[in-house]
Amino acid sequence: MSTPFPFTAVVGQDDLRLALLLNAVSPAVGGVLVRGEKGTAKSTAVRALSALLPEVAVVPGCRFSCDPAAPDPSCPDGPHEAGNGATRPARMVELPVGASEDRLVGALDIERALAEGVKAFEPGLLADAHRGILYVDEVNLLHDHLVDLLLDAAAMGASYVEREGVSVRHASKFLLVGTMNPEEGELRPQLLDRFGLTVEVAASREPDQRVEVVRRRLAYDDDPAGFATRWADEEAAVRQRIVAARELLPSVRLGDGALRQIAATCAAFEVDGMRADIVMARTATALAAWAGRTEVLAEDVRQAALLALPHRRRRNPFDAPGLDEDKLDETLEEFSGSGDSGDSGNDDEPDPDGPGGGGGQPPSGPQDDGPQADGGSGAQPEAGDGGEPQASGAGSGEQAAARASEPFRTKVLSVPGLGDGAAGRRSRARTEHGRTTGARRPRGALTKLHLAATVQAAAPHQRARGRSGPGLVVRRDDLRQATREGREGNLVLFVVDASGSMAARQRMSAVKGAVLSLLLDAYQRRDKVGLVTFRGSAAEVALPPTSSVDAAAARLETLPTGGRTPLAAGLLRAHEVLRVERLRDPARRALVVVVTDGRATGGPEPVALAGRAARLFAAGGVASVVVDCESGPVRLGLAGQLAGELGGTAVTLDELRADSIAGLVKDVQRRAA
């Protein structure tokens, strides 16, 4: 077994270390979500935490880590008699992003269950993680069906495996720790809320601290065992402090004053539900135990809010995480002294006995983004922005970026046909989950049995197999795998006209609002998105295909406008993006959304060139929609002509709203058929 990097040797990252230690003291806090850029010791700190956890008492030979003092009565390896057991180190189980459902929950041998009536069950990662840590790196990239299974297990403390009436249940209580890079996409709100705490991490900008990071890493890489030995005393001290805090935890008093501050803070920041209140209470209690106190103070409540609330305040994926700390302090001050005498009001001074690698308790939580600003990408354009003169010359007349108008719910755009892409919520696809549409012979291990088709396949052979009475003899050749239809995520590639013909500020604000609305829809449907813009004399890839729709929204917000309209260049650049992406991910189908008024200017024969470029998409069978941005009393209908060349359909900005058009998806499918 490799030697982990010592937890106490991690440089800086006080909030990260504090959040992990609080969960080690009180697993009921509910886990940690670590958000930050790559190369910031996220995974290193999480893996180092497992070495600090106290050993776990288990029933010898039990694959499900039953506690010998109170064994699980429904354990598949049971029943166990209560008594003495063995001890082992706490486990950290890592869930790979590409893991299968069977790898996560375990595999039930359907063939033996049907033929022999035997429940042959091979435990999965949820069983391995029981009473330990379940670590998901890049948790935001986890498939939706695995997220659903994690949510169920985290909520119930148990995992259920059911296949055609045969079921197995086992306990699964774990500390859920996830790491993610926000640039690669956000989490579903349901999973986001399951994490008790969240921290934002970033690389230090202090040269001396960066030097120390490099020095320690090089020393560890040269001699991992020797480096760990040099930090053994610090590791032992933190381990002992965790044990002491766990013993003190039941004695910590959470007074009415602290409870009122917790409730007032959650109400002031308008978090959904009551989970935030509960998590804050548990976190504040753990903070007091870690500091060696038996009473929760206002400083504990403040620190708990900074760790437990930022990720619960986000209303959409484009909101910046974080809390307004001035508002937090005002709320705590307003409700200080309203309960028992143990709460002495707000105290901004750090606890001298606080946690973290030999130093004091960090005085505040994640502050990378500062207070959340109002307005964001959904702000209305300023009055008087309309009617600006349009640019005429190539590369001239560039205007300041217009802000997007208020986003709205869009009509569903989908790719026609039946795909095989990654699970999502946009277009029809053959998937492992969804409604059953038929049956086939299994290719490899049987996962989803089609019972009726299996019986039909076995029935004609019963006499030849010696069966004359009731019952059914089933052999492997009779088994049939269910084929299912669900939904997939697509690559939604936006091709946005930012030229002078679109540059009136009020008009471009509406265009950006429409694209922002489509981006929100792509986030909810688990799509990848890309952004190509064209203006002046060329086109550029403003955002390569990514799962981070908020990155696309940020690029859109600062998009300048003006110049000629190189429509052909924009389409050709989009075609090249699709070609490269098809090599990387051939199963993911694309939906091209061209946002333009259809005009083409600049260069020789711009209209003819645009038509030829558009026909490349039609020849390749790429699904496309043209959002017609033409306005005014006289309309040329050029966007409709472009949609015909693309083999797609055209809709106006008004028709794009979900409550304005009926049957748009049918139109897209009919024209592409």
Positions marked active-site: 275
Question: Distance between CA atoms of 510 and 405, rounded to whole angstroms?
Answer: 5
**Closest by CA position to 544, among listed 595, 582, 493:** 493
Q: How many residues does the structure list for the chain?
A: 673
Question: Distance between CA atoms of 84 and 229, rounded to whole angstroms?
Answer: 32
Question: Distance between CA atoms of 268 and 330, rounded to whole angstroms?
Answer: 10
Question: Distance between CA atoms of 505 and 559, rounded to whole angstroms?
Answer: 12
Q: Which residue type is seen at 306?
A: L
Question: Distance between CA atoms of 91 and 123, rounded to whole angstroms?
Answer: 15
CB 41 within 8 A of CB 10: yes
- Say whether 194 sits in a helix, a strand or coil: helix
Q: In sequence order, what are the residues at sequence separation of 6 or more whose Cβ sits closer than 8 angstroms to the Cβ of residue 42?
A: 16, 34, 36, 179, 201
For residue 182, whether the previous peptide bond is cis, meaning omega lies within 30 degrees of 0, is no
547 φ/ψ angles, rounded to the nearest 5 degrees: -90, -5
CA 470 to chain centroid: 51
Structure-token pair, residue 345: 């009001």
CB 552 within 8 A of CB 183: no
DSSP string across 83-122: S--EEEPPPEEE--TT--HHHHHEEE-HHHHHHH----EE
CA angle 331, 337, 342 (to 5 degrees): 120
Structure-token pair, residue 324: 């307004």
Structure-token pair, residue 222: 């040269």
- Say whether 264 sits in a helix, a strand or coil: helix
Question: How buried is 239 (Cβ within 10 angstroms: 0-12 exposed, 13-18 middle, 19+ buried)?
Answer: middle
The strand ranges marked E within 139-219 are 158-163, 166-171, 174-180, 197-201
- Say whether 10 sits in a helix, a strand or coil: coil
Question: Distance between CA atoms of 43 and 46, rounded to whole angstroms?
Answer: 5
Question: Distance between CA atoms of 367 and 12, rounded to whole angstroms?
Answer: 14
Sheet containing strand 649-652, edge to edge, reads 538-546, 528-535, 491-497, 590-596, 623-628, 649-652
CB 537 within 8 A of CB 564: yes
